Amino acid sequence: MFVCALAVCAGNSAAASDEAANEFVLRAALGRVVDGDTLTVMLDSGPITVRMHGIDTPERNQANGKTATKLLRTLVEGEALEIEPIEQRDRYDRMVAKVFVRGEDVNARMVSSGYAWAYRQYLRREPADEAYCRLEAEARDEGRGLWAAARARPEPPWVFRARKDGR
């Protein structure tokens, strides 16, 4: 069983997090879904690529990669998107953000569906991110998505990428 070892920072209440999150949200339209955790969106200022914060989905050429991509497409296609930036740019020049549709955290939906891992390496120490770990454990325990096969032990995408890169 995976354990999420994150502690809530002192003085960081859920209410304060909610207030801060609502201060800077970008309204966007979907450009295209790149894969299960990356999409291109259209802002008033032009297109940007968004890497979804705190989750990692199978790569397109990995088992379940196409299914994860298709699920993300069904969650966001035709919807007005709300983008909550976490980092302005990652090493691939993508904005790292939480994506919302009608106030619902799409990143969390991907994890709860069983088609994304909580990407512990990048999670912050706050309740909203800790929830991703709980959602992943529930999906695994209930056999959703990647975890559907009996005794499923899908290869995490970060292991798949490292193996493909010869690391």
Active site residues: 51, 59, 94
Partners of residue 118 on adjacent β-strands: 55
Q: Evaluate whether 160 touches 58 at the Cβ level (below 8 Å).
A: yes
* Token output for 161: 């990428």
| H helix or E strand, kind and range, residue 51 | strand 46-52
